[in-house]
Structures are given as C-alpha cells and as structure tokens.
C-alpha cells in the first residue's frame, strides 16, 4: 500500500488525545467516565506513559508539589506528599490498569501534522511510529492536546563561551545518562530552580563536592515530607477516599491563603520563607546573598524541599552555593565574572526547558498553516478560529493536575452538548463586546515569569484582559467558573 492509500484508509476516532502524561491519562479517564459512547485513542511518542515522570531520570527526581493535589481527584493518594518519579508512575499505572485505559493507548506514535477539514469536520493526523519508522494516519472529530509544554528530547542549555574547551562532561538533567559515574567527582550544578535543588542533595553524598552555581537565588519552602492531617485521619481508620478529599481541601485552602498573602503582604511572606531557611543554615550563613530572591514570592513556582535536604548537604560540607555569573567555561571548569574559577569533573546544566508549543505539530486548516501566535486563547484551553480542539496547560501556582480534572469535565460537557444538539464543530470567536479588547502576550510577566515562557512568548497565543480570554492561572476562580461556562455563549461558534 502506498502512502496515499494508507492516508485514505486512516483509522477514525471520535476523539484523539495526544500525549499519555498525567494530562492525557486523566483526559482518557474523564472521557471514558463521562462520555462512554465516544471512541478514542491516546497517541504517545514515547515507549510508555508518564510524560514528565518518564522523561526525567536524573538522581532524586521528584515532585515539588504535594501528590494529594497533583494526584487526580478520583484516585486517592496514600503515600507521603512529595513523591519520586517512580511513585508517580506507579500511581498512573494503577489508574491505567484499574480503568483499562491501556487498550486505548498507542505508544511510539509521534504525531507530526494535523489538518482540519471544514468540509468534512474532521482532523487528519499524520505521524511516525518511532519503533518502525512507519508513517501512521488517523482522523478524529475532536483533538484533545495533552502534549505538555516542553521539548521532551532535549533540555535548554544556554551557549556560554568556551564550552568546547571544558575537558569534563556537560550534562543536562533532562538527558541524564543512566550510568553516569559521579562517585568522588567534583560536580557543578548550574541553576537555582527545583531541578538543581533536587539533584544536588541526591548526589552530594557520593560526590567529592557539589557546587550549586546560580545567577540569582530562588525561594524554597523547607518542611517535613508528611501530612499531619492525613496521618491523623488514617489513625482514626477513615476511608482513603475521604482522606484524599479532606486533605486536598485543606492543602488548597492553605495555598489560597498563602497566594493571597504573597500579593497582599509580600514582605511578611518573604521574611517567613527566609526565616525557615535561616533555621536550617544558622545565623552566620549568608542568606542574603544565596537565598534571597530579587523577585516577589510566587512570581515563580516555589519548590518544597522535603526535610530541607539541600540545606543539610550544605551544613555537612558536601554542597555549597555560589551566586555569581559565568564569564566562560575553561578546560578545568568555569571562570566566574567575579574572577573566581570553579573546578569540576562534571557540569550539570539545570537550566530549564525548551518550550514546545502544541507538541511541535504542524497545524493547518484546509491546508493553510495555523499560526497560534495570531489566535486568542479561550481560557487558556481553546483558540479562536481553531475548531474542535482543546489544550491542557495546567497551573503553575497550584498542581497542574487540578486543571486536568477541571478541563476534563468541561470537554466532556462540551462533547455531550454537541452530540445532543447535533453539531459537528465548535470554535471560539471574539464577541462583539470583545472587539476593542486589548490583546496581550500569553502571560503577564508581572504575574509569573519563568525563563522558558519568557524566551518563547512570541510563539504562544495571545490573551485578552477578561477571564474568558486568558489562562488566569487561578485555580480558585476557575473551579467556580469552569463548571458554569454557558456553552451557548456567543464565544462558541457551532456548525
């Protein structure tokens, strides 16, 4: 069979979900639960499920938010709040097995192109099987994009002068080699985010020394990796389903308070965060230099540090902080702008991600390329003029998965509404009252400004200044608003 014949014989589904990470598996669950008559497939590039938790294999890889809220609302989490990638994969594996989702997932299916036909009201998808190299073709009435937000094959490493001179190894944590020998080696970890804070303590005991080199400091919340309320309820023999719900509510209530406080009294919150670090490192440590960020709390994700392990490494003399800028790489290590030279056998660049908008797929409408940067987002999940497609982009300040469940309910309601009304397509469009609405970049840098978003803002859809036309990043608002969205609002154009 030639490619044209194969394309003509493309397998059809009511819904295709792209990606089998925490979003795609959640989407599959909700679809099966709330729209049992929709035939669907989950197409996933990698050889297994898990997305982020499968891709990242560096030592110590763990969540930085609690699993009571990072877990789905429908499957109780029964372990310690902060979980390793393996524990998250086990949890997701149980969701797949318990709900027989495996029959819907096609692994090694990398989707490369998607074209919407206005005449047929279907998406035609094209991809490649990563194991055989064979081309694959599908059609779908509805496309549910759960492809995450970054390039899975390679992390972001800035180009520094002299990198080629360095005689040791330069490794990005996202592509950490399985058998990397760091025993008794001097390691520099460049970065100050959650990855650096996880990796450094995980390897410190085995290395000769780990230096965390950061340009500027980050906020951390140190604390015990336990949830007192959950433990207490377990002692009382309460059912795990109840514990999950109660503990989620408590955590979300506290996070809401914390978020509001960080806007209303940033100085007090800042002092509390720094005070907790000071408790670990003592009064003589230079907290100002190494742990006092220049930005307001909550403008970037704040990582929880279980048992303050990074600070314990510092206290034990196995890890140290350097806050400085890189002048260049040298044969032996890194020359800093201050003049100091750091020596290393291995340099780990925990410098973030390459943003990948919509899975790197070439989207078109009747053969005309779609430029997402020219579209306006409907609540950070749909795009003006792009029919029958929803994207899951979770929360930064709350667990990503909270939005997976909320959008899951929305999509299922929308699909059921379309079926009941016999309509074939829906696309958001600006309404008359939106005609003079200012169009702004995807996210307000004053509100949240991680590097991978700032570097790629020009590729992302635009937002308006009303909650309908932006990803508000506000779980507490959305949990009230999303279930009440009027599907007959003029923002939805049906055909």
Ligand X SMILES: Cc1cc2nc3c(=O)[nH]c(=O)nc-3n(C[C@H](O)[C@H](O)[C@H](O)COP(=O)(O)OP(=O)(O)OC[C@H]3O[C@@H](n4cnc5c(N)ncnc54)[C@H](O)[C@@H]3O)c2cc1C
Residues in contact with ligand X by the rule CB under 6 A: 18-24, 43-46, 51-52, 56, 63-65, 70, 110-111, 146-148, 152, 195, 359-361, 392, 394, 399-400
Least Cβ distance, residue 380 to ligand X (angstroms)? 13
- 8-state DSSP, 168: S
Least Cβ distance, residue 399 to ligand X (angstroms)? 4
Least Cβ distance, residue 451 to ligand X (angstroms)? 13
Is-contact 126 16, C-beta < 8 A?
no
| Helix, strand, or coil (residue 484) | helix
HSE at residue 370, side-chain half, CA atoms within 13 A, is: 25
Is-contact 198 60, C-beta < 8 A?
yes
Least Cβ distance, residue 489 to ligand X (angstroms)? 26
DSSP readout, 403-448?
HHHHHHHHHHHHHHHHHHHT---EEE---GGGTTPPPB-SS-TTT-
By C-alpha distance, which of 289, 292, 286 is closest to 270?
A: 292
Least Cβ distance, residue 18 to ligand X (angstroms)? 5
Q: Name which of 52 and 388 has its Cβ closer to ligand X.
A: 52
What's the angle, vertex CA 55, arms to CA 302 and CA 453, rounded to 5?
45
Q: Name which of 143 and 314 has its Cβ closer to ligand X.
A: 143
Give the separation between CA 409 and CA 202, rounded to whole angstroms: 38
Is-contact 381 407, C-beta < 8 A?
yes
Q: Name which of 30 and 345 has its Cβ closer to ligand X.
A: 30
Joined together, the tokens standing for residue 49 give 């499920």
Least Cβ distance, residue 52 to ligand X (angstroms)? 3
Give the separation between CA 462 and CA 380, rounded to whole angstroms: 9
Cβ contacts of 84-88, under 8 Å, gap ≥ 24: 85/50, 85/53, 85/54, 85/56, 85/57, 85/61, 88/22, 88/50, 88/53, 88/63
Least Cβ distance, residue 359 to ligand X (angstroms)? 3
Give the separation between CA 402 and CA 489, rounded to whole angstroms: 25
Q: Name which of 129 and 417 has its Cβ closer to ligand X.
A: 129
Least Cβ distance, residue 163 to ligand X (angstroms)? 23
Cβ-proximal residues to 398 (8 Å cutoff; 6+ apart), any chain: 65, 69, 252, 255, 475
Least Cβ distance, residue 22 to ligand X (angstroms)? 4
Q: Name which of 199 and 281 has its Cβ closer to ligand X.
A: 199
Q: Name which of 222 and 394 has its Cβ closer to ligand X.
A: 394
Q: Name which of 58 and 166 has its Cβ closer to ligand X.
A: 58
Least Cβ distance, residue 136 to ligand X (angstroms)? 10
Q: Name which of 72 and 329 has its Cβ closer to ligand X.
A: 72
Give the separation between CA 335 and CA 166, rounded to whole angstroms: 11
Least Cβ distance, residue 35 to ligand X (angstroms)? 20
| Helix, strand, or coil (residue 221) | strand
Q: Name which of 24 and 168 has its Cβ closer to ligand X.
A: 24
| Helix, strand, or coil (residue 464) | coil
Q: Name which of 45 and 462 has its Cβ closer to ligand X.
A: 45
Give the separation between CA 472 and CA 402, rounded to whole angstroms: 14
For the chain, first and last CA: distance in Å? Answer: 35
Strand 346-349 to strand 341-343: parallel, antiparallel, or no bridges (unpaired)?
unpaired
Least Cβ distance, residue 88 to ligand X (angstroms)? 8
Q: Name which of 45 and 192 has its Cβ closer to ligand X.
A: 45
Give the separation between CA 334 and CA 350, rounded to whole angstroms: 15
Q: Name which of 222 and 359 has its Cβ closer to ligand X.
A: 359
Within 237-323, strands assigned E span 303-306, 319-323
């Amino acid at each position: 069979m030639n490619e044209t014949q194969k394309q003509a014989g493309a397998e059809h589904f009511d819904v295709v979900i792209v990606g089998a990470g925490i979003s795609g598996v959640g989407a599959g669950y909700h679809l099966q639960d709330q729209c049992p008559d929709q035939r669907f497939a989950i197409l996933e590039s990698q050889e297994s499920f898990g997305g982020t938790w499968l891709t990242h294999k560096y030592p110590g890889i763990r969540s930085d938010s609690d699993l009571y809220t990072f877990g789905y609302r429908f499957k109780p989490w029964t372990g310690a709040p902060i979980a390793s990638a393996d524990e998250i994969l086990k949890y997701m594996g149980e969701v797949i097995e318990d709900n027989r989702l495996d029959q819907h997932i096609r692994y090694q299916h990398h989707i490369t192109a998607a074209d919407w036909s206005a005449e047929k009201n279907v998406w035609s998808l094209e991809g490649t099987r990563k194991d055989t190299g064979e081309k694959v073709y599908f059609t779908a009435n509805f496309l549910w994009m759960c492809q995450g937000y970054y390039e899975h094959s390679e992390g972001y490493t800035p180009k520094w002068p002299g990198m080629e001179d360095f005689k040791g190894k330069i490794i990005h944590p996202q592509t950490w080699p399985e058998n990397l020998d760091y025993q008794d080696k001097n390691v520099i970890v460049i970065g100050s985010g959650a990855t650096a804070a996880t990796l450094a303590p995980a390897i410190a005991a085995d290395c000769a020394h780990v230096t965390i080199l950061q340009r500027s400091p980050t906020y951390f919340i140190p604390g015990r990796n336990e949830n007192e309320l959950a433990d207490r309820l377990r002692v009382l023999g309460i059912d795990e389903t109840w514990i999950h719900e109660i503990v989620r509510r408590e955590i979300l209530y506290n996070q809401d308070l914390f978020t509001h406080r960080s806007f209303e009294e940033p100085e007090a919150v800042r002092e509390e965060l720094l005070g907790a670090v000071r408790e670990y490192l003592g009064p003589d440590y230079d907290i100002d230099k190494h742990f006092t960020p220049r930005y307001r709390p909550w403008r970037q994700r704040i990582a929880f540090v279980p048992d303050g392990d990074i600070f314990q490494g510092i206290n034990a003399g196995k890890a140290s902080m350097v806050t400085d800028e890189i002048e260049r790489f040298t044969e032996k290590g890194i020359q800093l702008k201050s003049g100091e030279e750091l020596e290393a056998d291995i340099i780990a660049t925990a410098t973030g991600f390459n943003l990948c908008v919509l899975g790197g797929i070439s989207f078109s409408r009747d053969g005309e390329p779609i430029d997402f940067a020219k579209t306006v987002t409907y609540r950070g999940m749909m795009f003006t003029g792009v029919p029958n497609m929803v994207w899951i982009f979770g929360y930064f300040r709350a667990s990503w998965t909270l939005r997976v469940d909320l959008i899951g309910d929305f999509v299922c309601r929308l699909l059921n509404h379309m079926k009941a009304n016999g309509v074939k397509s829906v696309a958001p469009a600006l309404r008359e009252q939106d005609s003079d609405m200012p169009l702004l970049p995807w996210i307000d840098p004053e509100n949240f400004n991680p590097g991978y978003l700032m570097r790629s803002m020009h590729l992302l859809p635009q937002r308006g200044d009303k909650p309908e036309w932006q990803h508000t990043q506000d779980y507490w608002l959305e949990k009230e608003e999303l279930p009440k969205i009027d599907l007959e609002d003029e923002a939805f154009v049906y055909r």
